[in-house]
Structures are given as structure tokens and as C-alpha cells.
Amino acid sequence: MTTSLELVSANKCFGGWLKRYRHPSAVLNCDMVFAVYLPPQADQGKPLPALYWLSGLTCTDENVMQKSGIQRLAAELGMVVVAPDTSPRGDKVPDDADGAYDFGLGAGFYVNATQQPWARHYRMYDYVVDELPALIEAHFPVSDQRSISGHSMGGHGALVCALKNPGRYQSVSAFAPISSPLHCPWGHKALGNYLGPDRQAWKDWDACELIARAEERLPLLVDQGEDDNFLVEQLKPELLEAAANQHNHPLTLRRQPGYDHSYYFIASFLPEHMQHHAAALGC
């Protein structure tokens, strides 16, 4: 496949441009759509750092761009924001047999599947870490300074990508991440299907397990709403906190009373996350 880009849409926003592109992905064996916000500073000729945002179950690249207000913050800071889709798409891409929301289309879980029929398409980890950044850095005015963040399943993805790739990201943060897929129903379903029944293999995709062997002590910033209806069964931030404490990994875990799992929660604390990334990226 080539790396040709097809412009899907373009909207002027806070002095910059929010654009959506479609491209053929060699990693995922399908066409993919991503969004990129180019702040007004992108016209000044100097490469800018980029924040990669990973969304959660059922979401696409559009959720963060439509609901969070991230463009205004990125424009103030001079930061490019890149939002990939959450899974491969297309008629030839397999989906959950029952059409469930928590597996298959919209639920790629940011892992590299090893089991059939998923392995041909569901390699979102390679797409996010390697293929998409190479595409962005080849076609847009961005530097090789990257940060990563995300929400829920995307928070899991952001933590895993950062912990597995020392030196690749300058900072990482997450909103209500799935802290330990080894210990929740969403994780059991996704990892069991994508990776097979051997739970030893699952440990390579669990942030709590990866903290134990992390080669880099990149500080983790995590916000969690205390009224999140997925908190107890699926998210389990206490496991992330215990792993960080046990292995002396820097973690700022902020429990926010009254907040739920929605983008209202994300929008409320996104400015502080953007400042966290801006400080690391030198914005």
C-alpha cells in the first residue's frame, strides 16, 4: 500500500485547521481515517511537537475533536494534535459476531492481535506507535517530539504505548484508563480473543505489569472520576496505584469527586493535561 492521503474534511478552528484524512494502512490492511489539528503556529515554518490522542470503546477520531475543546488549548500552546480511529474499519474487517460494542469494530484495544481472524487487521499498537507517526512526520510540519494521551480504552493504550517504548514519548497521561486488562471483563474479552487464552501473553499489554519492567520512569498523570459507572468493575485505578508504589514509578493519580466517564469530565481537566504535555514538549 502507498501512503497517499485523501482529504476528507477541513475546518478553520481557533486560527488553525482541523483536518480529516483517509489513507491506506499497510499495517491494518484497510483504509483508515485520522484527524489532525494544525494550530496557527504550523504556518510559521518551524516543526511543532505532536500529541497523539487515543479514544475509547465505540469512539472514532471525531470524539475528542468535537467534544473536548482540545483545539483551543492546542492553538494556545502551539501543539499539533493527532487522533487516530480506535480500530480497523471496512467490510472485510471482522467484527464481533453479536455486534457487541466492547469487541471488534470500535474496540481495537491498541494491541497486536495474534489470533485468527483478527491478526490480519487488528494491529492498532503498530499503527499508533509506528505507521501513523511516520505518516504524520512525513506529511505535516511536526517534529519528532511526541506525547500521548487517551481515555478509557485509549487511556490503556496510551499507558501501554509509553511504557513499552522508552524514549519515544516525552510525556503520557490518561483519563479513566482501563488500568489492568488482566483483571476486568473488557480486558478478558479483548485480550482473550485477540491474543488467545494464554494469560502470560496478556501481560505485555497490561500497564500494571509493564510498570514492573519499565526501563524509563516517565511520570504518569491520570485523572479518574469517582462517579464513573465503570470504575469498580472495569477501570480499577487502585491496581495502577499499587503497581506504581511497589516499583517506585512516578504516578499522579487524581480522583475527582462527582465526575463520570464522559467528555464533560475530560473537558474539565484537559487543560491541566495539556499543560503537562506542553512542559515536557517545550511548548
Using the 8-state DSSP alphabet, how is residue 7 labeled?
E
In the residue annotation, 152 being an active-site residue is answered as yes
Which amino acid is it at 166? P
Q: Which residues, in sequence order, are CB contacts of 154 under 8 Å at separation 6+?
A: 53, 54, 55, 56, 59, 86, 110, 174, 177
In the residue annotation, 228 being an active-site residue is answered as yes
Active-site position among 68, 152, 171, 173 = 152
Q: Dihedral sign for Cα 255, 260, 261, 265, please.
A: negative
First to last CA, the chain: 35
- Contact status, residue 29 vs residue 52, Cβ threshold 8 Å: no
Q: How far is CA 164 from CA 88, 181, 210, 227, in A?
A: 22, 16, 7, 30
Which amino acid is it at 132? L
Helices marked H in 131-219 — which ranges?
A: 132-139, 153-164, 185-195, 199-202, 207-212
Active-site position among 171, 180, 228, 276 = 228
Among residues 6, 132, 124, which one has the least CA distance to residue 81?
132
Cell for 93?
A: 474487517
Which amino acid is it at 98? D
Max Cα-Cα span within the chain: 51
- Give the strand pairing for 16-25 and 30-38: antiparallel
Active-site position among 23, 261, 276, 277 = 261
Active-site residue list: 152, 228, 261
